[in-house]
Structure 1
């Protein structure tokens, strides 16, 4: 009887020890969308426009405090300009939401899913992900920094890959100073 009890106690202690020493895997941290920002900036021959767009939801995944994944959804209907006022602001926002650009009536959200995360230094990572805009998905690579409960990244997006053709020199000739460059920037500041 003593032998059985001793064996049982050893089994329980070994089980607790094994459980306690295993690291926590895939700790998913939800992003606080009301405290996070996504700033966009688009460029044309004669200048640029900038503004913000809201995250709908998102999360980063960690393993022992190392970034291993992430997934984000952006609410395209919230796209606003911050460099214009009044009538011109309304016109630009309406045009960006139209089928000429992002077609938000049919494509109300865009999505980014991390597919590979590689540490490049302390708190720094190279991220490869799949970015979906207007129902089209393409790979994208960018750098991300994580400090405590905050993360930052800058993405350069080629709109021509997502069927956003308006004013693009890649699709139309002789646009002159009406040309809008294909690449636009997204600066992402996350709080989780």
Structure 2
């Protein structure tokens, strides 16, 4: 192979490598919290008896539904939550305020790239970074990874204990969907709010 042919081959290989690099999207980390080292015993979350309900609003009303937890755990010591991690199965996202074709249509739309792009990002993960007691509640700071993007969120939670074991946790939190790349605005006459609410009711095994 002469020098001219070698040069052509190198140009082609370099061009292909540049295209591959552009197509490969790396995870994005936004304003996330540093995760503190967790101590204490580990308790598994009970996916079957835990619920996460979502609420999304728009100009003409609202929609709500559920998404299931795939797995998770919390760590605790001396009736203090010290850490934890939860994986949500985004393929289970469903709508509970509609029926029939309208329900099917919205559920399919939520799975597309306009919203959660579930085929590419089938899971969402929340990891507890730190906790602090605040009156009767526990202030939880953690990092939510969704659609390959991570941002920190914080919210108060109510924890129930039994013999030093956390048996349940309840919390309501909100997040700005645009921070996680969910930028679909909806129809001109029926714009969708950027704020999504989640009601958590978690149980341990």
Q: TM-score range by the shorter chain?
A: 0.7 to 0.9
TM-superposed CA distance for 1:176, in Å, is: 4.3
Which residues of 2 match residues 114-133 of structure 1 at below 5 A? 114-122=128-136, 124-133=137-146
C-alpha distance in structure 1 between counterparts of 2:129 and 2:70, whole Å: 20
Secondary structure at the counterpart of residue 121 of structure 2: coil
Question: Which ranges of structure 1 fall in alignment gaps of 5 or more residues?
Answer: 1-24, 169-174
Please give the secondary structure, in 2, of the residue aligned with 1:106.
Answer: coil
Q: TM-score, normalised by structure 1?
A: 0.81
Separation in 1 of the partners of 2:97 and 2:127? 30
What is the alpha-carbon root mean square deviation over aligned residues? 1.2
In structure 2, list runs of 5 or more residues that go unmatched: 1-38, 162-166
Q: What TM-score do the two structures reach when normalised by structure 2?
A: 0.76
Q: Secondary structure at the match of 2:103?
A: helix
Question: Secondary structure of the residue that 2:98 maps to in structure 1?
Answer: coil
Aligned residues: 161
Which of 150, 167, 176 does residue 158 from structure 1 map onto? 176
| 1:26-45 alignment runs, 5 A limit | 26-45=40-59
Distance 1:116 1:156 in 2: 18
String of CA shifts for 1:9-58, please: whole Å, max 9, x gaps.
xxxxxxxxxxxxxxxx5111111000000000001011000000000011
Q: What's 1:190 paired with?
A: 202
Q: State the Cα deviation string for residues 95-141 of structure 1 (Å, max 9, x = none).
A: 0110100000000000000111011134x211111101100000101
Please give the alpha-carbon distance, in whole angstroms, between the structure 1 residues aligned to 2:73 and 2:147. Answer: 22
